[in-house]
Amino acid sequence: MRIAIGLSGGVDSSVAALLLQQAGHAVEAIHMRNWRGDDDDPHCRAEADRRDAVAVAGQLGLRFHVRDFADDYLRTVFRHFLDEYARGRTPNPDVLCNREIKFKAFLDAALALGAEGIATGHYARVQEGDDGFRLLRGVDPGKDQSYFLHLLGQRELARTSFPLGGMRKSEVRALARRRGLATQAKKDSTGICFIGERDFRGFLSQYLPAQPGPIVDTRGRRLGEHPGALYFTLGQREGLQLGGVRGAAGGAWYVVGKDVRSNTLIVAQGDAAHWLDARHVRTGTASWVAGRAPAQRFRAQAQVRYRQPAQDCEVTLDAAGCSVRFERPQRAPAPGQALVFYRGEICLGGATIEASDAAYGGLAA
């Protein structure tokens, strides 16, 4: 089978390409350029990643192609990211990048080259059954990336391979070392793909200038000043710069609410569970991997955020989206975050959080 691998210049996609080749596939490499950073920007590793991808393609004898999706990324992913933050929400651009770039623009480019399918270095699995294609968790619980892939549907999964889905990261590194791949010791990338390892607030301020505003406690008492409410998210404690507050205990302060229109942050001290925890979450319209919901009402597990154990819940569909009731309170579900549904290792799909019954979440308790 002729497969195009998305060769990023990291160890994961390098080993994925190697495994496909060892399985007897005709493999070609496509390196995606998704972000136009400044050449002098020390946080932008685009050129270094391209060189590493070229080196691995050379070691494996792969035809190497470069495709520039930066305009698509700006239009479909980054613009949405900025709009959501401007509204005071907490988006996850990696989820939208997968749908719009890696499994749409990249898939279309691969098919145009004559490939029959695509592959990436994601830690997830695809399983074909009588009811179509399923998206499964990767077997390494510390690396499973199905959360970020929940917007994929049958068209994408039918043409996608995840060679690393059945491996642990330690095994991937060991194989890269044995084969002497150029990326064998390369550090994993962290953070949002277009930001890299830099100050998030400083990056965001280049595109969304904000004004200082008041920090108040849950009784409305002014405690200090923040640089811009849109830069903070629910549950955050870093960056508040609240020292000793007269009449308050010495514990940490957490963001428990924010009003972008009045540019106000609301904070509470201690564990703040009373203000942050929620059992009931509302979402917008869901995207289902199978193309349809399991039922109008069903039990499942769900993740409010990545690297969180899946939590038991009951999901009810209606005209506006999903009503989700958890068995246990969930910490700080924020509007704009992805809520992803599972049944065991099967990813069912997901939706965007709109509100919750946390104290400042917008729903009646």
What single letter denotes the amino acid at residue 103? F
The rounded distance, in Å, linking the Cα atoms of 18 and 4 is 12
342 strand-pairing partners: 301, 347
Mark whether 62 and 147 lie in a shared domain.
yes
pTM of the model: 0.93
Q: Active site residue: 44, 97, 322, 347, which one?
A: 97
| CATH code of 18's domain | 3.40.50.620
Instruction: Write out the residue range of the structural domain in which residue 337 sits.
Output: 275-356
| CATH code of 302's domain | 2.40.30.10
Mark whether 58 and 164 lie in a shared domain.
yes
Alpha helices (runs of H) in the chain, residue ranges in sequence order: 11-22, 46-60, 70-73, 79-86, 93-97, 106-112, 154-158, 169-178, 200-205, 273-276
In a domain, 195, yes or no: no
**Residue 37 in tokens:** 């950073």
Going by the DSSP 8-state scheme, the letter that residue 346 receives in this structure is E
The rounded distance, in Å, linking the Cα atoms of 360 and 345 is 33
Q: Is 44 a catalytic residue?
A: no
Give the up-direction half-sphere exposure of residue 226: CA atoms within 13 A in the CB hemisphere. 31
In a domain, 124, yes or no: yes
Per-residue pLDDT of the chain (365 residues; tens, 9 = 90+): 999 999 999 999 999 999 999 999 999 999 999 987 655 565 567 888 999 999 999 999 999 999 999 999 999 999 999 999 999 999 999 999 999 999 999 999 999 999 999 999 999 999 998 889 999 999 999 999 999 999 999 999 999 999 999 999 999 999 999 999 999 999 887 656 556 666 788 888 889 988 999 999 999 999 999 999 999 999 998 888 886 665 566 678 899 999 989 999 999 988 788 899 999 999 999 999 999 999 999 999 999 999 899 999 999 999 999 999 999 999 999 999 999 999 999 999 999 999 999 988 888 65
pLDDT of residue 119: 98
Q: Is 347 a catalytic residue?
A: no
pLDDT of residue 194: 55
> CB of 265 within 8 A of CB of 334?
no
In a domain, 197, yes or no: no
- Determine if residue 114 is left, alpha or beta; phi over 0 gives left, psi from -120 to 50 gives alpha, anything else beta: left
Nearest to 14 by CA among 202, 237, 128, 179: 179
Domains in the chain: how many in total?
3
pLDDT of residue 103: 97
